[in-house]
Structure 1
Amino acid sequence: MARLSGLLATSFQQDALTRWMIPDERRRAELLPGFFRVFVELSAAHGGVFTAGDGEAVLLFLPAGAEPDEAAVDAALSRVLGEHAEAMRTIAALQAARHPAGRPHYYVSFGAVSAGRRQAGLMSGLLSRMLDRADAEGVGAYVEASSPGGEAASRRVGFERFGCDLVLPGDGPVLRPMWRDPR
């Protein structure tokens, strides 16, 4: 878990979303491993962690029907983020307002590839593996891309824009909702 949390933290250190959530670079580097550990543990509890390249790539997701204990997740993130937890709550509220309700789906939360292995197809492979499961179950998949690389990887495996972008307050970054129907 620590290695995967570290990979995600390193990969998202300069991401616009985490920079908005935790503006101070030093503090962000301190908090992100714990932040991502919450999501690794949450996804693992639902069978939603895929890795590739001997741990050089990771995809976190929740399968259709997974119902996390939102209060427990919020409490864990509050412990980890401290004063930055309110920014995470703002992000979560925007996501919840746009999340596709009433449509069973897999929900991709985070993915990362180590710097030396990017553009090697690892993320596309992980997404395809998850989509194979979703297709076998006859359900869609949903993701909110926070970077051009995340959007490109999602498009390569069939995701398309899903409504309007989510824009964080104060000229904050944009999350691009994307959907893929089952095949």
Structure 2
Amino acid sequence: MTTQVRTASATDAATIAYVVATAFHPLDVTRWLIPDPQERANRFPHYARILIDHAFEHGTIHITTDLNAVAVWLPHPLPDPPSYATKLAYACGVWTPRFQLLDQAMHHAHPQDLGPHDYLAFLAVMPQYQGQGCGAALLDHHHNYLDEHGRAAYLEASNTHSRKLYTHHGYTDCAPPLDLHYQGEPMYPMWRQPPTPGNNRLA
């Protein structure tokens, strides 16, 4: 069965935040950000909404029609969301310093000299639908647009499993893994250059 993808609207914001928070809940980096599971479940949707709302204003969000998978893209360069520090503190509470460390590490790794590109802030699939091609369908959907416009893409893979998925879709490591001094898998900065004209490489 083919996965159907559509562009999300602002009315989908709460659902998108829930999918992101649920999919990211067991990741090593997320467990480090907010160790308490209940706090993580309560706070992460509010954190995700900061970037989701920013993407509705400036970027692109795609969602599967069954609402079980989402991809949140932001153009780069792009300023931080308005009042970002205040919103981050409200969303993350006592865990804000760890989110600030994550921001600093991601900013340090993010290529600044390779020209405009799209940044994949979140690719999230509900746990029971992972491994069924939903993430690949979302990637292909946006990569088609990027390739038509000769535009590159950047992301941070959250673990070796997602890194394999992104490698299959044309991404390569572009910086050392993020060093945040937690136990578990690091995040891997990855870059995707669009195919040159006449190159039939898969997206």
Q: Same fold (TM over 0.5)?
A: yes
Alpha carbons 1:59, 1:112 under 8 Å: kept: yes
Cα deviation per residue 1:62-102 (whole Å; 9 max; x = unaligned)? 1244x133552232111110111110110110111111002
Looking at structure 1, the residues matched to 27 and 79 of structure 2 have their Cα atoms a distance apart, in angstroms, of: 25
Q: 1:133 to 1:75 in 2, by over 3 A?
A: farther
* Among 65, 69, 74, the residue aligned to 2:80: 69
Which residue of structure 1 lines up, in the alignment, with residue 200 of structure 2? none
Which residue of structure 1 lines up, in the alignment, with residue 177 of structure 2? 165
Q: What is the RMSD of the two structures over their aligned residues, measured on CA atoms? A: 1.7
Gaps of 5+ in 1: none
Runs ≥4 residues deviating over 6 A: none
Which residue of structure 2 lines up, in the alignment, with residue 182 of structure 1? 194
Which residue of structure 1 lines up, in the alignment, with residue 49 of structure 2? 37
Which residue of structure 1 lines up, in the alignment, with residue 33 of structure 2? 21
Matches within 5 A, 1:88-127: 88-102=99-113, 103-127=115-139
Which residue of structure 1 lines up, in the alignment, with residue 164 of structure 2? 152
Aligned length: 182
Which residue of structure 2 lines up, in the alignment, with residue 9 of structure 1? 21
Alpha carbons 2:116, 2:152 under 8 Å: kept: yes
Richer in helix (by share): 1
Which residue of structure 2 lines up, in the alignment, with residue 137 of structure 1? 149
**Partner-residue secondary structure (3-state), 1:165:** coil
Gaps of 5+ in 2: 1-12, 196-203
Query: Is 1:81 aligned to 2:67, yes or no?
Result: no
**Partner-residue secondary structure (3-state), 2:70:** strand
Kindly state the Cα deviation for residue 139 of structure 1 after the two structures are TM-superposed: 2.0
Looking at structure 1, the residues matched to 81 and 190 of structure 2 have their Cα atoms a distance apart, in angstroms, of: 23
Cα deviation per residue 1:40-68 (whole Å; 9 max; x = unaligned)? 11112123211114211100111244x13
Of 70-79 and 37-46, deviating more is 70-79
TM-score scaled by length of structure 1 = 0.91
* Structure with max Cα Rg: 2
Alpha carbons 1:53, 1:122 under 8 Å: kept: no
**Partner-residue secondary structure (3-state), 2:156:** strand
**Partner-residue secondary structure (3-state), 1:167:** coil
